[in-house]
């Protein structure tokens, strides 16, 4: 990101290769937004002449677009900042104070000198990507405490008096990341969660806006943004009565406020925004590059994800040493590279009603500890991993009996029980330290290669008996800050371990968690037909290598919807993410085992093409009777195409499917030895048969010249 400051005119210009972002200090000393969109190089007086929002009017008035909107008596759009002062006043009038540039980032300081508040706006680029991250720090410069009732990360303004279409993702347990599209009218659309988790069990902290709703996968403008936060959040997209369109967003305000003592500061999480003129597909590729090259844990960002066998779907809580030793042998025989013992290994944990919180091995079911399992895995060339749920506890557990005060609850009331468990108050320092110590012990004791962190219920009460008003108001914030603290610790002490983030499936599939985890669970629903919708939403934002789950090759019938699907369909689908197998290998017949072994071999053969790839949505599950996804290696080595039928009718015509992202004059060889030029595959396309119920195909095109 390039930063240009024209001091005499108070103009600030931020530029990436294909995006410009402009603001200025106006004659009243206010920092106002000028422009966000395609590149603008000319910021001379003529180039950025005063905007005339009403050119037909004599006064040619300019509507107010504050760069960061505080609650101001002259402004009626959603504020990013609302402060309650000691006298009950809530209005803040911000004026420009100063700026500085350090390490390629721009900081602009605004202040209300009457109310003794300063606001630091930080703008940070990401190399040559068309992305900028904004964050804000509020400082109380007065002599009395103040209360931040709302403190959002940014105010964003879109250009022109145009109608915009909002694309976002929403859902529920088992149906995450469902694409939603609506045209904005004079209204406010609020995307939010106050469940204690951030993503896709209600709304996802992400937005995309395109002018007039005309943008496609391959063409048109998209203005988009995402919040770096894994707890309660609010994003508000609005069109005001004058037709101006904007977005503001940040930490949620439900049961939350921040008390700032004199000279104390509070920094809101980052909000990253970007622009493209080349459709939703290009937006996804920008987000992929951001994660591949900057966000994902650096020690494993480009490493292939291993083929996982997970115990949950076939065995659930019925785990025993003798059984798992047999499964390990079979898992190794089909080619699995990592064996994971999921929920059910702890003392007394034979169902979901007891044992959660007691992180010690059940000696009756594992009389020799985990050592025989670990040694068997290593002897067969496999790694070993474990499931944990550090934020939760069963009332029927030694931990709860010893520390009933550690759970979220209101004084004098019975805590709200959900899924037979309670939420540990991670905002407490003693609870946070307990989690760190417990995880350190497990990592050391069992020489783990993988850890799956789960979180299987939502917040209820924001209750913390005996806590101060400040602690209560900040509980939901401190909880997530301590969550990040624990994850940061894990990555520092065990950078070699593969970490998976799960929250009842995709409840924390967000950009706040990406820097800490290598796999992200999309959903507890492993049905391929349902997952096509979930996966399309998920991979709009996240690279396919991060698409985790306990059984991407899953049992049939499906446990959630009862759908029965052929094994080959489930196998082909299982290759579209980070492959995991959740089928009972002890009851599988010889043909199934042979086919699973071949599936793993084929996935490992194709993995170099898919490991660091882009996903091109050739045919959308939302728009037709089949789904076609093309995975194109970022280095140009080739492409893998997945095609799935799921609703053909009446001898339905299917067009040739035009591929994307290839070199027009490159030469590509398919698995039958046929050679095609890239432009042929992209302009003419490929024919894919979809005959019968639930047909699936995997096509491979390797670049040979």
User: How many CB atoms sit inside 10 A of residue 620's CB?
Assistant: 16
Sequence ranges of the domains in the chain: 2-295, 308-611, 633-703
User: Above 80 in pLDDT, residue 564?
Assistant: yes
Mean pLDDT of the chain: 95
Question: Which of 85-99, 222-236, 360-374, 681-695 is the least confident region?
Answer: 681-695
User: Above 60 in pLDDT, residue 60?
Assistant: no
d(CA 244, CA 225): 18
Contact (CB, 8 A) for 432 and 321: no
Question: How is residue 536 written in tokens?
Answer: 């399309």
User: Above 60 in pLDDT, residue 381?
Assistant: yes
Please tell me if the domain spanning 308-611 has the same topology as the one spanning 633-703. no
User: How many CB atoms sit inside 10 A of residue 693's CB?
Assistant: 11
Residue closest to 211 by CA, chosen among 275, 163, 246, 273: 163
Which alpha helices (DSSP H) does 212-358 contain, by range?
279-290, 312-315, 321-334
308-611, CATH topology level: TIM Barrel (3.20.20)
What was the pLDDT predicted at 3?
97
What are the strands, taking DSSP E only, across 126-197? Answer: 131-140, 146-157, 164-172, 175-183, 187-193
Question: How is residue 273 written in tokens?
Answer: 């925004």
| Residue 26, marked binder | no
**pLDDT confidence of 653, banded at 50, 70, 90?**
confident
**pLDDT confidence of 652, banded at 50, 70, 90?**
confident
pLDDT tens readout for residues 300-332: 999 999 999 999 999 999 999 999 999 999 999
What was the pLDDT predicted at 110?
99
Percent of the chain at pLDDT > 90 equals: 91
d(CA 31, CA 486): 38
What was the pLDDT predicted at 495?
97
What was the pLDDT predicted at 655?
87
Q: What is the mean pLDDT of residues 72-77?
A: 88
| Residue 455, marked binder | yes
pLDDT tens readout for residues 95-126: 999 999 999 999 999 999 999 999 999 999 99
- In DSSP terms, 518 is beta-bridged to none
Which alpha helices (DSSP H) does 511-589 contain, by range?
528-541, 567-574
What was the pLDDT predicted at 167?
98
Contact (CB, 8 A) for 502 and 521: yes
d(CA 218, CA 212): 16
pLDDT tens readout for residues 341-352: 999 999 999 999
Its CATH class, for the domain covering 633-703, is: mainly beta
pLDDT tens readout for residues 396-418: 999 999 999 999 999 999 999 99
Residue 70: helix, strand or coil by DSSP? strand
| Residue 130, marked binder | no
User: Above 90 in pLDDT, residue 690?
Assistant: no
| Residue 453, marked binder | yes
**Chain-centre distance for alpha carbon 53:** 37
User: Above 80 in pLDDT, residue 190?
Assistant: yes
What was the pLDDT predicted at 74?
84
d(CA 293, CA 298): 8
Q: What is the mean pLDDT of residues 242-255?
A: 96
List of residues 6+ apart from 21 with CB closer than 8 A:
13, 14, 15, 35, 36, 123, 132
**pLDDT confidence of 57, banded at 50, 70, 90?**
low
| Residue 342, marked binder | yes
Q: What is the CATH number of domain 2-295?
A: 2.70.98.60
pLDDT higher for 122 or 55? 122
| Residue 604, marked binder | no
Residue closest to 453 by CA, chosen among 247, 218, 667, 197: 197
Q: What is the mean pLDDT of residues 465-480?
A: 96
| Residue 456, marked binder | yes
User: Above 90 in pLDDT, residue 297?
Assistant: yes
| Residue 7, marked binder | no
Residues classed as catalytic: 454, 524
């Amino acid at each position: 990101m390039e930063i240009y400051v024209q001091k005499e005119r108070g103009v600030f210009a931020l530029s990436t290769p294909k995006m410009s972002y402009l603001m200025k200090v106006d004659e009243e000393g206010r920092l106002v937004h000028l422009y966000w969109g395609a590149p603008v190089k000319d910021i001379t007086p003529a180039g950025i002449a005063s905007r005339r929002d009403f050119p037909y009017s004599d006064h040619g008035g300019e509507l107010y677009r504050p760069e960061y909107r505080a609650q101001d008596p002259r402004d009626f759009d959603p504020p990013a900042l609302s402060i309650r002062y000691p006298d009950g006043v809530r209005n803040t009038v911000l004026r420009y104070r100063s700026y500085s540039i350090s390490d390629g980032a721009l900081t602009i300081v605004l202040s209300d000198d009457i109310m003794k508040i300063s606001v630091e706006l930080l703008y940070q680029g990401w190399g040559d990507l068309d992305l900028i991250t904004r964050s804000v720090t509020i400082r109380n410069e007065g002599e009395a405490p103040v209360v931040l009732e709302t403190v959002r990360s940014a105010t964003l303004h879109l250009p022109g008096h145009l109608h915009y279409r909002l694309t976002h993702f929403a859902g529920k347990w088992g149906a995450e990341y469902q694409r939603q599209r609506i045209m904005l009218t004079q209204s406010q659309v609020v995307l939010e969660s106050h469940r204690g988790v951030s993503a896709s069990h209600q709304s996802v902290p992400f937005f995309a806006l395109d002018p007039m709703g005309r943008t496609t996968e391959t063409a048109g403008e998209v203005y988009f943004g995402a919040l770096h936060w894994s707890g309660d959040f609010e994003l508000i997209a609005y069109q005001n009565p004058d037709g101006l369109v904007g977005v503001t967003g940040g930490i949620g305000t439900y049961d939350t406020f921040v008390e700032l003592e004199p000279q104390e500061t509070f920094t809101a999480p980052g909000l990253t925004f970007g622009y493209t003129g080349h459709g939703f597909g290009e937006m996804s590729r920008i987000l992929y590059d951001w994660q591949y090259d900057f966000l994902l844990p650096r020690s494993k960002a480009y490493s292939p994800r291993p083929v996982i066998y997970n115990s949950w779907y076939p065995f659930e809580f019925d785990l025993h040493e003798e059984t798992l030793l047999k499964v390990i042998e079979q898992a190794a025989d089909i080619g699995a590279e990592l064996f994971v013992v999921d929920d059910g290994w702890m003392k007394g944990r034979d169902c979901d009603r007891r044992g959660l919180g007691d992180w010690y091995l059940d000696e009756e079911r594992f009389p020799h500890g985990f050592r025989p399992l670990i040694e068997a895995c290593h002897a067969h060339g496999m790694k070993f991993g474990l499931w944990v749920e550090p934020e939760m506890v069963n009332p029927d557990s030694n931990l709860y009996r010893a520390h009933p005060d550690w759970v979220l609850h209101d004084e004098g009331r019975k805590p709200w029980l959900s899924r037979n468990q309670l939420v540990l108050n991670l905002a407490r320092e003693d609870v946070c330290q307990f989690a760190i110590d417990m995880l350190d012990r497990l990592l050391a004791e069992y020489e783990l290669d993988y850890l799956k962190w789960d979180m299987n219920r939502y917040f209820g009460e924001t209750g913390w008996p005996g806590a101060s008003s400040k602690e209560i108001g900040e509980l939901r914030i401190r909880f997530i800050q301590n969550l990040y603290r624990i994850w940061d610790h894990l990555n520092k002490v065990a950078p070699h371990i593969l970490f998976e983030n799960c929250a009842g499936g995709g409840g924390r599939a967000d950009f706040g968690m990406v820097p800490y985890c290598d796999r992200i669970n999309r959903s507890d629903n492993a049905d391929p037909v349902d997952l096509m919708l979930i996966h399309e939403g998920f991979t709009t934002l996240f690279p396919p290598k991060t698409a985790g789950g306990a059984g991407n090759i899953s049992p049939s019938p499906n446990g959630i919807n009862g759908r029965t699907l052929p094994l080959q369909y489930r196998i082909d689908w299982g290759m579209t993410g980070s492959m995991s197998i959740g089928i009972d290998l002890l009851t599988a017949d010889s043909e199934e085992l042979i086919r699973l072994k071949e599936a793993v071999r084929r996935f490992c053969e194709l993995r170099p093409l898919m490991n660091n790839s882009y996903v091109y949505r050739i045919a959308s599950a939302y728009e037709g009777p089949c789904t076609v996804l093309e995975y194109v290696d970022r280095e140009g080595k080739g492409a893998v195409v997945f095609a799935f039928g799921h609703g053909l009718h009446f001898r339905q015509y299917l067009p040739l499917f035009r591929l994307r992202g290839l070199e027009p004059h490159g030469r590509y060889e398919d698995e039958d030895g046929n050679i095609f030029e890239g432009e042929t595959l992209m302009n003419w396309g490929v024919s894919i048969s979809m005959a019968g119920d639930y047909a699936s195909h995997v096509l491979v095109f390797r670049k040979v010249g």
